[in-house]
Amino acid sequence: MKYIPVIGLEIHAEMLTKSKVFCSCANEFGGDRNDRVCPRCSGMPGTLPVVNHEAVTLAAKAGIALGCTVNNYSAFDRKNYFYPDLPKAYQITQFEFPICTNGLVHILNRDIRINRIHIEEDAGKLVHDDYEGISMADYNRCGVPLIEIVTEPDFRTVEEVQTFVEEIALRLKYAEVCDAKLEQGSLRVDVNISIMPYDSNEFGTRAEIKNLNSIKAIGRAIDYEIERQSELLDKGQKVVQETRRFNDNHGNTKALRSKEEAHDYRYFPEPDIPPVFISDEEIEDIKKSMPEMPQVRYKRYTEEYKLPEDDAKLIITDKAFSDFYDSAVSLYPQYKEISNIMLGEVNRNLNDTGKTIKDISFSPEDITKIIKMTDEGKISKNAAKTIVKIMFETGDSPEKIAEDNNLIMKDNSDELEAIAQRVLSENESTVNAYKNGNEKLFGFFMGQIMSAAGKGANPKLIKDILTKKLNNN
């Protein structure tokens, strides 16, 4: 039988604060075990959590970026379970009153509803020692601020899920909430998936898949899971509600032993943290502090600037790149030309040098100067490419590069007039043939004049002179 998959996502994103969410330890990676730990984040008796202002700001930004309502009132709760990476034996999270609710993200002609975004603390890490049969608990990651983004089960295909995750990652990067690296775990995607027969409206029992650390893995895991669940149903068996772990090497999913058999987290309001009230004005201020989001830029590029969709997509992939493009077009609104040189020459050189747009030493204005010189006929299009390449190497101004490398086309109208006159005089019969309607001969005259004028002659100028002369005589 054929089934429709029904998929929802739970996405954890590590927020880019300086300090942890409930204490002042640094929110960083690396270092020795348990060296970014204090009495609070190691769960010492008598210590109390103190909410980080920036964590609330970034969570609100995430909500705004994903079209959510930022709630004026949000509150923290405790999720109780015992695990050695959780020193307090409860995780502080938001259960009843999350900071953001009711978002909407449009992808591939589909609206994906965001149920909620809430703030919570990360747990520590366990390092296993098989030889000694022990696990070692490192609390450096305890208290790293996370948001959890929970979608409605609105996905029906792998492509939708992958596009959505890429879109979310991009928006969180733009909002500077998270660096959104799946491979490094700063963005973690859990997939809830069930299947139902084509003619059904009733969702099946879902499995939750964890440990998906690439877009590709997400696709493979969903495909595997659809197949696994379909086989079960085909055989008349049932899908069990459970958490499964994706194994990247084998391309399959395996049931995980649950953290607590009883699965009863005994949520209740966190008595150590008063709820947070954020005013409409404060939410508005946060909104204003945010950059224009990629999907808005995409719309502007395609609709206002008439860029091809593929170009627009490429430009928004990196916020700094898009910012660079925007500054350039604000100085000289040649949208397509600037897009061409950036996606062409600039990108090629970025790839060749392994740099990002933030590393380069020239400015958006320099790019506009190159385009202007081309437009004004001062340099050729090939010269423009050469200038970009040299700018990467030397960081010199485009003008200087053009001069130093003899790239400026000569502006020698008088001389060219004379040459043109001579060429036409020497080929009178051909001129007549042209005038009698053989327009292809224009190219012949161009070639003659060009070769007589030598390197650096401006073809545009020659063309103008030639046209004038042929039409006047």
Q: Residues in the site for another protein, rule: CB under 8 A? A: 17-19, 24-27, 32-39, 42-48, 50-56, 73, 75, 78, 80, 82-84, 87-90, 126-130, 133-139, 257, 261-262, 264, 266-269, 271-279, 282
Q: Which of 26, 296 has the CB closer to another protein?
A: 26
Minimum CB separation of residue 10 from another protein in Å reads: 20
Q: Which of 19, 448 has the CB closer to another protein?
A: 19
Q: Which of 121, 167 has the CB closer to another protein?
A: 121
**b/e 223-236 (16+ beta carbons within 10 angstroms → b):** ebbbebbbebbeee
Alpha-carbon gap, residue 172 to 454, rounded angstroms: 55
Cα angle 40, 91, 166; round to 5: 115
Q: Which of 283, 470 has the CB closer to another protein?
A: 283
Q: Which of 138, 345 has the CB closer to another protein?
A: 138
Q: Which of 269, 447 has the CB closer to another protein?
A: 269
Minimum CB separation of residue 124 from another protein in Å reads: 9
Alpha-carbon gap, residue 460 to 192, rounded angstroms: 62
Minimum CB separation of residue 16 from another protein in Å reads: 10
Q: Which of 45, 354 has the CB closer to another protein?
A: 45
Minimum CB separation of residue 273 from another protein in Å reads: 7
Q: Quick one: DSSP state of residue 318?
A: S
Minimum CB separation of residue 291 from another protein in Å reads: 19
Q: Which of 88, 173 has the CB closer to another protein?
A: 88
Minimum CB separation of residue 66 from another protein in Å reads: 20
**b/e 237-274 (16+ beta carbons within 10 angstroms → b):** eebeeebbbbeeeeebbeeeeeeeeeeebeeeebeebe
Three-class SS of residue 335? helix
Burial class (CB in 10 A: 0-12, 13-18, 19+), 469: middle
Helices 215-234/158-174 angle, 10° precision: 150
Q: Tokens 């929802």: give the residue.
A: 8
Alpha-carbon gap, residue 196 to 245, rounded angstroms: 22
Minimum CB separation of residue 149 from another protein in Å reads: 21
Neighbours of 443 (CB within 10 A): 9
Token pair in block for residue 56: 């609330």
Alpha-carbon gap, residue 319 to 299, rounded angstroms: 15
Q: Which alpha helices (DSSP H) does 179-299 contain, by range?
A: 215-234, 280-288, 294-299
Alpha-carbon gap, residue 446 to 183, rounded angstroms: 57
- In order of 36, 54, 60, 290, 349, the CA distances from 18 in angstroms are 12, 9, 17, 18, 34
Token pair in block for residue 259: 């953290």
Minimum CB separation of residue 55 from another protein in Å reads: 8
Q: Which of 19, 322 has the CB closer to another protein?
A: 19
Minimum CB separation of residue 279 from another protein in Å reads: 7
